[in-house]
Amino acid sequence: MKIDILTLFPEMFDGFLNTSIIKRARDLGKVDIRVHNFRDYSLDKHGRVDDYPYGGGAGMVLMCEPIFRAVEAIRTDDSVVIMLSPSGQVFKQNMAIDLSKRKHIILLCGHYEGFDERIKTIVDMEMSIGDYVLTGGEVPSMVITDAVTRLIPGVITSTSLDSESFNDGYLDYPNYTRPEEFRGMRVPDVLLSGHHKNIEKYRQEEKIRLTNQNRKDLVSGDDNG
């Protein structure tokens, strides 16, 4: 898979691309992630990519020309172009699964007051990672890249993926490790029993309990993922 991230601040991705699962996936050749600066596609001698909004108002708006040029230079027939925007569909695990099957993803990171509306004509979808406002689309692009990359076959073990939150509509069960007791808190006896059927039953019950306790929207079907 190939992922291209278009941004005004490519330096923000240095640590992200060179640590943990993302670095391993890149080293294994499972994913090719490249970061591009919008300014490299500006025709302005100062590399300008934003301007004041028509009609007035605070902030600056990302201009059409450099964004169009950037997308057109990178896009192929296999590409899906995603604009990171508060007005987009909220990103969910099922969307990460779908994207992990794509050959090429292009992520557009907004900044300032966002994109000129006409840029939406060259994107395939808009995405948001939640109902709050961030400084720009860089952090959301990292979230989506991470969620998608870890699902690519061979990046992490399939058994780890099978037991994760949201895969069956529930949150994950609680996990414990050594010591068996810490400050009066003991690991549940069933996990120490070696009885696999009882352990499986306990974990399923805990998934249901935690989901009802913390994310009733998943149980009620209000989650629109």
Q: What is the pLDDT of residues 118-152, one digit of tens each?
A: 999 999 999 999 999 899 999 999 999 999 999 99
Number of domains in the chain: 2
Do residues 130 and 171 share a domain? no
77 has a pLDDT exceeding 80: yes
* 84 and 136 belong to one structural domain: yes
Does 156 fall in a domain? no
Same domain, 8 and 77: yes
Determine, yes or no, domain membership for 158.
no
CB-based contact 106:93 (threshold 8 Å) = no
Measured distance CA(102)–CA(144) in Å, rounded:
13
Per-residue pLDDT reduced to its tens digit, 213-223: 999 988 876 65
In a domain, 45, yes or no: yes
Please report where in the chains the tokens 């406002």 appear, as a residue. 133
* CATH code of the domain covering residue 206: 1.10.1270.20
pTM summary value: 0.88
What whole-number distance in Å separates Cα of residue 190 and Cα of residue 186?
11
In a domain, 167, yes or no: yes
Report pLDDT for 225.
Answer: 46
**Residue 199 in domain:** yes
pLDDT tens digits along 150-202: 999 999 987 666 666 676 789 999 999 999 999 999 999 999 999 999 999 99
Does 16 share its domain with 125? yes
Q: Does residue 191 form part of some domain?
A: yes
Domain hosting residue 167, numbered range: 163-220
Q: Residue-wise over 35-45: b if at least 16 C-beta within 10 A, else e?
A: bbbbbebbeee
Q: Quick one: which of 76, 77, 98 has its CA closest to 148?
A: 98
Same domain, 145 and 169: no
C-alpha 124/C-alpha 75 separation (Å) is 11
Based on the fold, state whether residues 128 and 59 are members of the same structural domain. yes
Please give the share of the chain, as a percent, with pLDDT higher than 90.
83
Domain match, 25 and 61 both: yes
Domain contains 154: no
Residue 50 has pLDDT above 60, yes or no: yes
Are 127 and 30 members of one domain? yes
Task: Give 111's pLDDT tier (boundaries 50, 70, 90).
Answer: confident
d(CA 126, CA 106): 11
